[in-house]
Structure 1
Amino acid sequence: MGALAMPGHDHNAQTSERAADSSQVLDIHEVIDQRAVTTVFQPLVDLAGGGLLGFEALTRGPADTPLHTPDALFAAARAVGRETELDWVCRAVAFRTILAADPDPVLTWFVNMEPAASRVPCPADLAGAIEEARQRLRVVTEVTERSIAHDPAGLLAATTSVRAAGWGVALDDVGADPGSLALMPFIHPDVVKLDMQLLREPDEPHTARVVAAVSAYAEASGAVILAEGIETARHAELARTMGATVGQGWHHGRPGPLPAQVRAGSRLPFIKPPGLSIGTPFDIIGGRRPVTRTTKGRLMSMSRHLEALAGDGSEPPVLLACFQEERHFTAATAVRFTRIAANSPLVAALGTGLGDEPAPGVHGTAFGPADPLRGEWNVIVVGPHRAAALVARDVGDTGPDRERRFDFALTHDRSLVLEAARALLPWLAPAASGGLVSAAPSTFG
């Protein structure tokens, strides 16, 4: 699959950023209106015994046209503002194809999804296939790290919705971008798909770092590791040394029509999803760690120390911060956050008066005067191997700014830091979207 998760994309296809020409613009409307896409399927196998576990659904446009490949198809849809509708079309067509084959209920079906579609109503003519799939199929929804970096709240809504259906979530292309490792625990995937390039560079330091981080996550969570791009027996052997138990690639089967009467060798497991974070970061951490009172001046050095962690090293972490009000997000702070955002997968600054992008590359949102976050000053850092959070609540002093007092707590407990970080995601708007989105669970129908 390419760098941006699209429904049914072939994992070998790279998403084109080139706008479609005028003929394609005309054709894409006809393709979408007539639902003129098809689905091919690539097998997923148990690397230990070779048994079939399921298939990934891959979309194709009309044969012998410029829109046959998924990259061209979605580039054209994006150019005319119909990308999310095409997303629904591709998933519905995939589900109809699967359901028509009366599949073994043990099989697992991997289908890609663009999180933005989770807040766009399903077209009425597709709703029946989507709902039947919810009732009858065992599905893993694939997303990439770019999804959460672009639209954190949308991805949270999408993954909440699919898990409510009893489905799983996969994080694709892990290792293609260093940021995927820091974002992995936010998605809490049931399946981690190793980028195919790792099998071709097994001795590179980058590969070793990716494998170590993914293995640690899988050991702690019970997630399955899947290796993409297996083309030879040697690749399959390397995949197993990287901790993969499931394989996908030409060595195990090329994309094609569904075979007749296919049966699963075994059932791919799902893991328990993370609980929803309830309350603010201070509520979450302050309720379980010692709380101390001090002045803002004394907290500033601690805050900058955590910000420095976010800009240090070859595996950039996520940085989320609450500033109470716009005036506390100073010009110097904006420079620091811009520098960190240039390398980090997700950097956010929240506060009253702040917009959707308070500094270049920085996510943001403005909340109202009654919002409980207005009283908090929080700095949260989450990386592949480290996590830290400073959470503080204003006690309401007046007077010089540096003498204002806060109750604060500090923790390096990874699970607690992640819980606090997830609590902030619903506030974040999509990058350059111009509007706040809701993280309330969406539905497929």
Structure 2
Amino acid sequence: MRTIHDVIDDRAVTSLFQPLVELSSGRVLGYEALSRGPAGSPWESPVTLFAAARAAGRDGELDWVCRAAAYRAALDAGLRQTLFVNMEPTAWHTPCPADLAPVVALARDRLRVVTEMTERAIAADPSGLLSAAANCRAAGWGVALDDVGADPMSLALMPFVHPDVVKLDMQLLHSPDDPHTSHVVAAVAAYAEASGATVLAEGVETEAHEIIARTMGATVGQGWRYGRPAPLPAVPEPVGAQLPLLSPPVTDRTGGTPFEIVAAQRPTVVTTKAALMPISKYLEALARDSHQPPVLLSCFQEARHFTRATARRYIAIATRSPLVAALGVDLGDEPAPGVRGAALAAGDTLRGEWNVLVVGPHQAAALVARDLGDDGPEADRRFAFATTYDRTLVIAAARSLLHLLAPTDPRTVPDLLTV
């Protein structure tokens, strides 16, 4: 009997396609590629297929096989609309297999692709996800955030991906009166209004679902109401309207530390560590007490400043937050249970910074401070500091830290498109 290894080795995967429809006009704006294993085999279902590949340690390679199959089918059909493809969270650690490189390169030149990612991947590997998203945008492709709303903690992670398309989880359409649905819809609407992103509703099966989707701010729909997964049309459709793609986030274009990013836009003041402690603890309290758990990222200069009392506070926040991180010299990958870490080099510019950054679905706040190098009592050490509640600035500062929460070996974060 054919094994999962045979399926992957033989590249025995095909793609079906489901249309993405503009709700106001009914026009097809694109298609999502949906992978299938060999018909009639235990691996025909994508869930079973990827579960078996994951158990065999080959899910990253299978992801390449699935995307390459979708690219090949789209190229053969002369697709002119946008092609949506899914990417598994582990895929950016797997180099493109040599036999698939030609079709991937051709897709980069000839197709308009949006790569779908999930929020759960951000906390697991922030740097990898951001690198993958940046590589997609460097190719002129877009990024979609999938299953938004499935996890109540996921909304705080949305601005870090800066998706061109936000895909509302299909369960939202089936529970429009649930308070959780209202929270998700409000957060997505705020992001879409600020960024210009497209909101897409998944699982639209009826006219009633379509009406609900439009009240939720969706302008594009996907589901059985518009078509079941099938091969692409034999005759290419006219291009028509295209889904708009956003400009890259500011930290994809410019670097800098949190202090440098914020201080370039806000005035700084000099004060002592003792005077800054209440501000720092206030921001921690925002993260702890927020109705919708935010991301909390902090720089402590050195491990000795991440005290036992601080660790206890961060552990408590991490139990309900999608991502809590502490960076500093001699801090490990997990300085406290549930807390992500990154060890700074002794000469790292961040060693001179004390930063506390909070990003939630509806709030953002930052304290950024630079050590002025005083000797003497700890409480009297002076810092130049600034605070801001400007969402764009806080997110830019936070993104500059997310790149550090991952392996530094560049081979583990390959370019997903340059092969």
Aligned to 1:393: 370
* 1:10-49 to 2 correspondences below 5 Å: 27-49=3-25
* 1:10-89 to 2 correspondences below 5 Å: 27-89=3-65
1:271 aligns with 2:243: no
1:357 aligns with 2:355: no
SS across alignment from 1:406 = strand
| Alignment counterpart, residue 326 of structure 1, candidates 303, 311, 321 | 303
| Alignment counterpart, residue 415 of structure 1, candidates 392, 406, 411 | 392
Would the aligned equivalents of 2:94 and 2:414 in 1 still touch at CA under 8 Å? no
- By how many angstroms is 1:189 displaced? 0.6
- By how many angstroms is 1:76 displaced? 1.5
SS across alignment from 2:3 = helix
1:261 aligns with 2:235: yes
Aligned to 1:287: 264
TM-score by length of 1: 0.90
Aligned to 1:7: none
* 1:219-258 to 2 correspondences below 5 Å: 219-258=193-232
Q: Work out the CA distance in 2 between the residues paired with 1:440 and 1:226.
A: 29
What letter matches 1:246 in structure 2?
Answer: V
| Alignment counterpart, residue 324 of structure 2, candidates 329, 336, 347 | 347
Would the aligned equivalents of 1:191 and 1:224 in 2 still touch at CA under 8 Å? yes
Aligned to 1:121: 95
Would the aligned equivalents of 2:148 and 2:167 in 1 still touch at CA under 8 Å? yes
1:108 aligns with 2:85: no
Q: Work out the CA distance in 1 between the residues paired with 2:7 and 2:344.
A: 41
Task: Let me know the Cα RMSD of the aligned residues.
Answer: 1.6
Describe the superposition over 1:380-427 as per-residue Cα deviations: whole angstroms up to 9, x where unpaired: 001111100000111111222222111111010111111111111110
Aligned to 2:287: 310
| Alignment counterpart, residue 115 of structure 2, candidates 141, 144, 169 | 141
Would the aligned equivalents of 1:161 and 1:441 in 2 still touch at CA under 8 Å? no
- By how many angstroms is 1:284 displaced? 0.8
Would the aligned equivalents of 1:337 and 1:347 in 2 still touch at CA under 8 Å? yes
Describe the superposition over 1:360-382 as per-residue Cα deviations: whole angstroms up to 9, x where unpaired: 22111101100101111100001
1:153 aligns with 2:127: yes
Q: Work out the CA distance in 1 between the residues paired with 2:22 and 2:70.
A: 23
Would the aligned equivalents of 1:115 and 1:158 in 2 still touch at CA under 8 Å? no
- By how many angstroms is 1:160 displaced? 0.4
Would the aligned equivalents of 2:326 and 2:342 in 1 still touch at CA under 8 Å? yes
Aligned to 2:415: 442
Would the aligned equivalents of 1:153 and 1:437 in 2 still touch at CA under 8 Å? no
- By how many angstroms is 1:67 displaced? 1.6
- By how many angstroms is 1:78 displaced? 1.5
- By how many angstroms is 1:206 displaced? 1.4
- By how many angstroms is 1:355 displaced? 1.0
Aligned to 1:8: none
| Alignment counterpart, residue 403 of structure 2, candidates 426, 432, 435 | 426
Q: Work out the CA distance in 1 between the residues paired with 2:380 and 2:264.
A: 25
- Structure 1 alignment gaps of length 5 or more: 1-22, 430-434
* Greater shift in the superposed pair: 348-357 or 116-125: 116-125
Describe the superposition over 1:217-256 as per-residue Cα deviations: whole angstroms up to 9, x where unpaired: 1111111100000011100011011110100011111111
Would the aligned equivalents of 1:190 and 1:270 in 2 still touch at CA under 8 Å? yes
SS across alignment from 1:380 = strand
Aligned to 2:72: 96
- Structure 2 alignment gaps of length 5 or more: none
Tell me: CA distance 1:437–1:234, structure 2 relative to 1, closer, same or farther (3 Å): farther
1:368 aligns with 2:345: yes
* Greater shift in the superposed pair: 160-169 or 113-122: 113-122
Q: Work out the CA distance in 1 between the residues paired with 2:146 and 2:227.
A: 19
Q: Work out the CA distance in 2 between the residues paired with 1:332 and 1:267.
A: 53
What letter matches 1:67 in structure 2?
Answer: W
What letter matches 2:333 in structure 1?
Answer: D
Aligned to 1:201: 175
Q: Work out the CA distance in 2 between the residues paired with 1:57 and 1:51.
A: 18
Describe the superposition over 1:32-60 as per-residue Cα deviations: whole angstroms up to 9, x where unpaired: 11111111111110111111111100111
Tell me: CA distance 1:418–1:194, structure 2 relative to 1, closer, same or farther (3 Å): same
Tell me: CA distance 1:219–1:409, structure 2 relative to 1, closer, same or farther (3 Å): same
Q: Work out the CA distance in 1 between the residues paired with 2:340 and 2:222.
A: 35
Tell me: CA distance 1:40–1:443, structure 2 relative to 1, closer, same or farther (3 Å): closer
Q: Work out the CA distance in 2 between the residues paired with 1:272 and 1:441.
A: 22
Q: Work out the CA distance in 2 between the residues paired with 1:437 and 1:251.
A: 46
Q: Work out the CA distance in 2 between the residues paired with 1:30 and 1:337.
A: 46
- By how many angstroms is 1:442 displaced? 2.1
Q: Work out the CA distance in 1 between the residues paired with 2:315 and 2:74.
A: 46
TM-score by length of 2: 0.95
- By how many angstroms is 1:428 displaced? 0.4
SS across alignment from 1:427 = coil
Would the aligned equivalents of 2:95 and 2:414 in 1 still touch at CA under 8 Å? no
Describe the superposition over 1:62-108 as per-residue Cα deviations: whole angstroms up to 9, x where unpaired: 222222211221122112221111111111111111111122x2x01
Q: Work out the CA distance in 2 between the residues paired with 1:132 and 1:398.
A: 60
- By how many angstroms is 1:436 displaced? 3.8
Aligned to 1:5: none
| Alignment counterpart, residue 166 of structure 1, candidates 140, 143, 148 | 140
- By how many angstroms is 1:437 displaced? 5.4
* Greater shift in the superposed pair: 334-343 or 185-194: 334-343
What letter matches 2:177 in structure 1?
Answer: D
- By how many angstroms is 1:330 displaced? 1.2
Aligned to 2:314: 337
What letter matches 2:146 in structure 1?
Answer: D
Would the aligned equivalents of 1:41 and 1:258 in 2 still touch at CA under 8 Å? yes
Would the aligned equivalents of 2:294 and 2:322 in 1 still touch at CA under 8 Å? yes
What letter matches 1:165 in structure 2?
Answer: A
